[in-house]
Amino acid sequence: MSELSSAQAAPGGSPMPEQAGEPWWKGAVIYQIYPRSYRDTTGDGIGDLNGICEKLDHVASLGVDAIWLSPFFTSPMDDYGYDVADYCGVDPIFGTLEDFDALVEKARRLGLKVIIDQVYSHTSDEHAWFTESRQDRANPKADWYVWADAKPDGSPPSNWQSVFGGPAWQWDGRRKQYYMHNFLTSQPDLNLHNRAVQDALLDAARFWLDRGVDGFRLDAINFAMHDPKLTDNPPSGLPMDKVTRPFDMQCHVNSMSQPQIPAFLERIRALLDTYGVRFTVAEVVGATPLGEMRAFTEGSKRLNSAYSFDFLYAKQLTVGTVESSLSAWGATVDEGWPSWAFSNHDAPRAISRWAGEHDKGQVARTLMLLLLSLRGNAFIYQGEELGLPQADVPFEALKDPEAIENWPNTLGRDGARTPMPWSDDVPFCGFSEVDAWLPVDPAHAGLSVARQEGDPGSCLNVTRALLKLRQSVPALRLGSQAFLHGSNTVLAFERRVENDLVVCAFNLGNVDASWRPAGEEGAWEILATQDGRAPTGAALPGRLVPWTGYWARARRTVSGGVSG
């Protein structure tokens, strides 16, 4: 096996290794909490802020750097919090502002940063801004939302389609105009071309920054602006077997993804910079997100990071999937820092999409090993540390409007939002004392936190071991990344910072595969496998069985790179 120069490595390496002394968020691991489903302390079957506070010790025990809270703001809950009725209020089902303050204070004591969602593309139709805006065409907030006249025949102003099905326009009898909604009809789109709207959103951001939050995840931020000319979207040309809704049949070049968005992001970044080191990450939804992700994070005046749905919507995990996603980052010095997620509240859990007939526990541990080895920030979704598969939610129990609309063509989002299983020997797995807002899947009981605590080989304890190890290895947290020549099923890459070099290898196929890095037998120290931290002196495996992997550290610097 000959060594491979950096120039020969597959694309995906950064131009130079990152150095120590970087901000706290760079290379961070962030744990996402979906408040409705984490822990119910009031007996209404819905999780709340006090429940999160109660379970923060569990989060801290994992070794993550921060938590990200999905929306807990005042809302009619048509879209379960992503339809905000008051940006500066806590919905009573979740608690009070004082409960939020207590949560932040406890997180501080445990060494955890707190990141919250901000939903800037739309509000609830119950927001006071929209209530005023819809009264007539001359009120002070008349142009705070996207309003347009009907065409002469009464049809909507453009052909734009909403994500949840049907036209992206709803007729309003008071103004005798249509208003735009990229999502539900009860989620009217804000007009962010209006500077006053931007100012109001920045005031809301300032409110939470003053309460001590450490950053924001910007929901669906590429939906935040539209083409003011209301130009029709062109057809996508997708074959019908790839279509689940009319939205899929268009290229959304005019209803979203406008070139003015980065200027608004610069205003957000300028505000956060006045509060010290804060973190911003964009959710970028769409078929071709890379250009926007780069534009949103370019230079030092925009967002810190962005993530797409490359992995979240992938039906299979392949070597090509990983290489194509990660190779897009690291090409220029002034681009942003990527973030990665395999599961979240908007997508079916990764294990159910990718494990196939393989042992789900082993796949879960291997996926955690892989996620924590990628260059960028890692997002762990609640329950991912337990290896939870997608829950089975019968049609009559569904709550998600998208899942109901597309039944049974998609797995939907409800199966990823079911309650966290804390214990297997109490009703409702310790989430609540009553029936939860979504049913607890009986299959999750055997994967509960209490059941896994005492098992050193459980997904929970492997996650803890891997996170602890990752924190101590500079190459894994901050290093550059370059792909190596594995095979069609073996994913291999190096992570490097200064003299610290780690090789990561994974068999994502269905049969055993041979691969090992260059160098003599004693040149590498196995740091970890999918079973956790490797014993001292463990030998480098010559073969990888399906859905296994390892991290191996060079005992001395291997000049230029490594190859299989």
Strands 73-74 and 86-90: antiparallel
Place of tokens 């489903």: 37
Name the active-site residue from 79, 117, 283, 292: 283
Q: What are the tens digits of pLDDT across the range 283-298?
A: 998 877 888 999 999 9
Higher pLDDT, residue 557 or 509 = 509
Please report the pLDDT score of residue 189 as a whole number.
98
The overall average pLDDT reported for the chain is 92
Confidence band of 20 (pLDDT split at 50, 70, 90) = low
Between residues 167 and 287, which one has the greater pLDDT? 167
The mean pLDDT value for 54-69 works out to 98
| Structure confidence at residue 450 (pLDDT) | 98
The share of the chain scoring above pLDDT 70, in percent, equals 94
Strand 113-118 relative to strand 66-69: parallel, antiparallel, unpaired? parallel
- Note the pLDDT tens digit of each residue in 169-222: 999 999 999 999 999 999 999 999 999 999 999 999 999 999 999 999 999 999
Residue 32's beta-bridge partner residues?
68, 381
Considering the entire predicted model, what is its pTM? 0.94
Q: List all residues 6 or more positions away from 163 whose beta carbon is below 8 Å from its beta carbon.
A: 182, 183, 245, 247, 402
The active-site residue, picked from 48, 117, 189, 219, is: 219
Strands (E), 79-152: 86-90, 113-118, 147-148
Residue 509 and residue 354 in contact, taking contact as beta carbons nearer than 8 Å: no
Query: How does pLDDT run across 224-259, given as a tens digit for each residue?
Result: 999 999 999 999 999 998 888 899 999 999 999 999
Cα 65 to chain centroid, rounded: 15
Q: Give the CA angle between residues 211, 213, 216 to the nearest 5°.
A: 130
| pLDDT 10s digits, 84-93 | 999 999 999 9
What is the spatial distance between Cα 463 and Cα 454, in angstroms, rounded to a whole number? 14
User: How far apart are the C-alpha atoms of 313 and 327, rounded to whole Å?
Assistant: 18
Q: State the DSSP string of 252-290.
A: -TTTS--TTHHHHHHHHHHHHHTTSS-EEEEE--SSS-H
Q: Are 66 and 112 in contact (CB under 8 A)?
A: yes
Residue 139 confidence (pLDDT): 98
In the predicted structure, residue 5 carries a pLDDT above the cut 80: no
Structure-block tokens of residue 544: 């990888």
d(Cα 11, Cα 63) in Å, to the nearest integer? 31
Q: Estimate to the nearest angstrom the gap between the alpha carbon of 458 and the chain centroid.
A: 24
SS3 242: helix
Class of the CATH domain delimited by 23-124+195-468: alpha beta
Number of Cβ atoms within 10 Å of the Cβ of 41: 18
Quote the strand ranges of 219-318, DSSP E: 279-283, 305-307
The dihedrals phi and psi of 77, each to the nearest 5 degrees, come to: 65, 30
Query: Is it the case that residue 476 has pLDDT exceeding 60?
Result: yes
Q: What is the CA radius of gyration of the chain?
A: 24
In this prediction, residue 9 carries a pLDDT of 37
Helical residues (DSSP H) of 42-155, grouped into ranges: 49-54, 56-62, 97-109, 128-133
* CA-to-CA separations, 337 to 43, 131, 279, in angstroms, rounded: 41, 39, 11
3-state secondary structure at position 88? strand
Edge-to-edge, what's the strand order for the sheet holding 490-497? 480-483, 490-497, 500-507, 548-554, 524-529, 532-533
Q: What gap in Å lies between CA 342 and CA 349, rounded to an integer?
A: 8
Q: Are 452 and 464 in contact (CB under 8 A)?
A: no
pLDDT tens digits, residue range 492-547?
A: 999 999 989 999 999 999 999 999 898 877 889 999 999 999 988 788 888 999 99
283 is catalytic: yes
Residue 557 confidence (pLDDT)? 58
Confidence category of residue 556, pLDDT binned at 50, 70, 90: confident
Whether 16 has a pLDDT exceeding 50, the answer reads: no
Q: What is the model's pLDDT at position 12?
A: 39
CA distance 252 to 232: 9
Helix axes 459-471, 360-371, angle to 10 degrees: 10
Q: Which two tokens stand for residue 330?
A: 């690291």
Where are any strands of DSSP class E within 399-523? 480-483, 490-497, 500-507, 513-514
SS3 of residue 370 by DSSP: helix
CA 16 to each of CA 301, 424, 479, 480, 553: distance values in angstroms, whole numbers, following the listed order: 21, 48, 9, 7, 19
Confidence at residue 542, expressed as pLDDT on a 0 to 100 scale: 81
- 386-422 pLDDT, tens per residue? 999 999 999 999 998 878 877 877 767 999 999 999 9
Give 79-120 pLDDT, tens digit per residue: 999 999 999 999 999 999 999 999 999 999 999 999 999 999
Name the region of 473 (left: φ>0; alpha: ψ -120 to 50; beta: rest): beta
pLDDT in tens, 321-377: 999 999 888 767 678 899 999 999 999 999 999 999 999 999 999 999 999 999 999
| Helix (DSSP H) and strand (DSSP E) numbers for the chain | 14, 21
Residue 18 has pLDDT above 90, yes or no: no
Res 155: pLDDT: 98
Q: Tokens 């500079």: give the residue.
A: 474
